A and B are shown apart, each in its own frame.
Chain A
């Protein structure tokens, strides 16, 4: 009996400010003030990686390659990805300002270089909240996309995924041929805690650094320039009321939002 060949999976991860930190604006309003803040793997990407690890354990995926784009500082999250179960990692060195379209073109080049047949990533990064890279990558590769995936099932006989996606109307079940792009939502899984042996083992796994110019020449036809940033309007401090009756009175007669 010959077993079906399994998938080579790229997981894209992004280094972002720790999601529990409330980011402020720089005094000169030139950008968000993120210097010296604790950084972490984008939580959605962490979930995507965990799902790839789970699928590898089930025999669907044969190899997991983690990739990120950015400065040399991003090596820390790639080591974390290796500890979580990625087999190897790529750091594509890029300038600081790097739009989602550039990330998608970069990932497309890496998919072709590695001859991968599955890309797993988070549906959005919690820093710029763009929610774009997965759709753009699927577009460039002409692969099917499942966005906001909360359940994945692999059918090796027909080499298809059946995935549950979260939409504004509720949960939808879609069937995707491979190769494909899957973008993880929060409820897909709960990433496991890392153990010390995993972290130690990660130190010996291959991590390759490649300047972006050696991978791809970008084609960006829109120029997006950040002019300034500002904090949102602060809501005025509210009042505490003592009872339901007082609350209703305020809502009816002061705020006039109830009849």
Chain B
């Protein structure tokens, strides 16, 4: 039996989250098959074949895999579904639909957002916005799961002396009764949140979309990604793809700096894995200070320019 890892790729490259899923897959102690579905995805498959620990890379190219639907994914897997004991994907917006969709076809109960693999049949995942960690024993012929990528270190991209077997597969039939029309948001030029080492995050305290530019400038100086609380996204200051928390993205950078974020439990759920948390807020009672390693009770509109200036001077030295 084998483990299937559903790869995700963006702009011609495997995502960092996929490299974390492979790390999780290694802990299951079975042969690993990476699946790359896409359009013009052969170079990505070749790149994946060089990863250490990977036995095979299956790839399939179809125009309709460009915006992959769970229906077309499940249809592709159908002929092979009995070959795999485990199927893993990252807990991304795509993975969260592919895994349960396929699981239902197999009458299997999937696991969502796995945080730890205790052994190949015992897993840990969060409940109640991560305030309760549950250890689950799972038995069955098919075990499917999404993996919380921040909980697993991405595997190193090092060249494998003997590359994995590269297998081109015929696409499954296009069965989806939904069709992609367009991307409404403008593609971001900001660094990817999921893999950033430093994240600067803004809340309602930033007061407007314009003020997020202050964070952008500071982020540029630190090579940081920008994130936001739900309150800031709801207020229209910044796009939903920047939302961090229980219902948004989960991040675990070395340094997380929260500007004007009060710290609702749903937001804290998304940042608990961060190495160092800094909170900057005018309100000294804000719950964010309870989880922060360093707190600064101050007006962020004074702090941001001061930080910016200090970093500039530091860089010149």
Contact = CB atoms under 8 A, between A and B. Distances in A.
Nearest to B8: A168
A112 interface: no
B184 A172 contact: yes
A241 B294 contact: yes
Contacts of B179: 174-175
A194 interface: no
A145 B241 contact: no
B292 interface: yes
Contact of B128 (A126, A138, A244, A248): A126
Contacts of A139: 70-71, 74, 100-105
Contacts of A258: 222, 255
A229 B105 contact: no
Interface string B128-150: 11111111111111110000000
Contacts of B126: 129, 232
Interface stretch (B34-42, B43-51, B154-162, B273-281): B273-281
B303 interface: yes
B104 A220 contact: no
Point out which of A17, A169, A225 has the most chain B C-beta atoms below 10 A from its C-beta.
Answer: A169
Contacts of A171: 183-185, 239-241
B101 A136 contact: yes
B132 A229 contact: yes
A210 interface: no
Nearest to A254: B294
Interface in A216-259: 219-232, 235-236, 238-245, 247-248, 250-251, 255, 257-258
A169 B100 contact: no
Contacts of B214: none
A223 B247 contact: no
B217 interface: no
A170 B222 CA distance: 24
A200 B70 CA distance: 42
A251 B276 contact: yes
Contacts of A187: 233-234, 240
Contact of B131 (A23, A124, A131): A23
A66 B151 CA distance: 37
Interface in A64-115: 99-101, 104
B150 to A, nearest CB: 13
B267 interface: no
Interface string B171-183: 0000011111111
Interface residues of A, number: 84
Interface stretch (B19-27, B91-99, B201-209): B91-99
A190 B126 CA distance: 27
Contacts of B246: 126, 129
B241 A166 contact: yes
A240 B109 contact: no
A222 B111 CA distance: 11
A181 to B, nearest CB: 10
B230 A223 contact: no
A137 B105 CA distance: 10
B178 A180 contact: yes
B4 to A, nearest CB: 16
Contacts of A221: 106-108, 140-142
A101 to B, nearest CB: 5
Interface string A129-162: 1111101111110111111101000000000001
A167 interface: yes
A136 B103 contact: yes
Given A23-B132, A32-B132, A139-B102, A170 B278 contact: no
B127 interface: yes
Given A221-B108, A238-B294, 17 more contacts: A22-B128, A32-B127, A132-B99, A135-B99, A135-B104, A144-B178, A172-B180, A175-B179, A177-B177, A177-B178, A185-B240, A225-B138, A231-B132, A235-B277, A247-B278, A255-B293, A257-B198
14 contacts: A17-B128, A19-B266, A23-B132, A129-B113, A144-B71, A172-B180, A172-B182, A177-B177, A185-B240, A187-B233, A222-B139, A223-B139, A243-B296, A257-B255
Interface of B: 10, 67, 69-71, 74, 92-94, 96-113, 122, 126-143, 176-188, 194, 198, 222, 230, 233-234, 239-241, 246-247, 249, 254-255, 265-266, 272, 275-278, 289, 291-298, 303, 306-307, 310-311, 314
The 8 lowest CB-CB distance pairs between A and B, nearest first, are A170-B185, A222-B140, A136-B104, A139-B104, A132-B100, A144-B178, A135-B100, A171-B184
